[in-house]
């Protein structure tokens, strides 16, 4: 069975879905549950039902959203392409408090010159926060985009004490 539940974090309310193999999807709980269930079904071909998920899954998301270390939890990336899996595997090696550019991640994923494709893979990351796409920034400077909102990306990087271009970020908490 595939289930999902909601959890309140320091940066907003999230829906967390899981299969018997691990966490499959994390998204903001701002949209309707019907839309979330439809997106889940479109990606994985199965229906997720509202219900209880393991407490350690919720704890991992709460801690990651706070910018803190968290205990490893299983992640189920079924339904992703081989390229997406390779990119997300490389991304998981970017340590807390550090950033890399899209070009650097492309190189680490074995696809030098594929920075734009890396950006697309980041946009489709089904498990943000736990697979830290917020740690990827453009080579041209700045922090770039983030599917959960730029203010959340800035906040996560601040909480992790990440520096970009040798400077810490100023947090415009929700501002």
| Rounded-to-integer distance, Cα 35 and Cα 170, Å | 34
pLDDT at 175: 35
Helix axes 82-91, 115-123, angle to 10 degrees: 90
Per-domain residue ranges of the chain: 2-65, 82-168
Q: The domain 2-65 is classified under which CATH number: 3.30.160, 2.30.30, 3.30.70, 1.20.120?
A: 3.30.160
> What are the tens digits of pLDDT across the range 110-134?
999 898 899 999 999 999 999 999 9
Residue where the block lists tokens 């489709």: 124
Q: What is the third-level CATH fold of 82-168? A: Arc Repressor Mutant, subunit A (1.10.10)
Residue 171 reports pLDDT greater than 60 = no
Catalytic residue among 17, 100, 129, 133: 133
Q: What are phi and psi for residue 56, nearest 5 degrees?
A: -70, -25
Instruction: Indicate the pTM of the whole model.
Output: 0.90
Handedness of CA 22, 28, 33, 38 (dihedral sign): negative
CA separation, residue 75 to residues 52, 58, 92 (Å): 17, 13, 11
- The answer to whether 100 is a known catalytic residue is no
Q: Give the pLDDT band (50/70/90) at residue 162.
A: confident
Q: Give the pLDDT band (50/70/90) at residue 166.
A: low
């Amino acid at each position: 069975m595939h289930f999902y539940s909601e959890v309140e974090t320091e940066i907003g309310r999230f829906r967390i879905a899981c299969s018997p193999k691990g966490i499959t999807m994390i998204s903001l709980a701002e949209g309707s549950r019907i839309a979330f269930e439809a997106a889940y079904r479109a990606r994985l071909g199965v229906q997720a039902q509202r219900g209880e998920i393991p407490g350690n899954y919720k704890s991992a998301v709460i801690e990651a959203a706070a910018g803190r270390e968290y205990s490893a939890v299983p992640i189920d990336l079924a339904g992703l392409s081989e390229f997406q899996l390779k990119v997300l595997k490389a991304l998981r090696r970017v340590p807390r408090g550090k950033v890399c550019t899209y070009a650097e991640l492309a190189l680490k994923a074995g696809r030098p010159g594929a920075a734009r494709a890396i950006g697309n893979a980041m946009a489709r990351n089904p498990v943000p926060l736990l697979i830290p796409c917020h740690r990827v920034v453009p080579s041209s400077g700045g922090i770039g985009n983030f599917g959960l909102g730029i203010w959340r990306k800035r906040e996560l990087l601040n909480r992790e004490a990440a520096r970009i271009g040798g400077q810490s970020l100023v947090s415009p908490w929700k501002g």
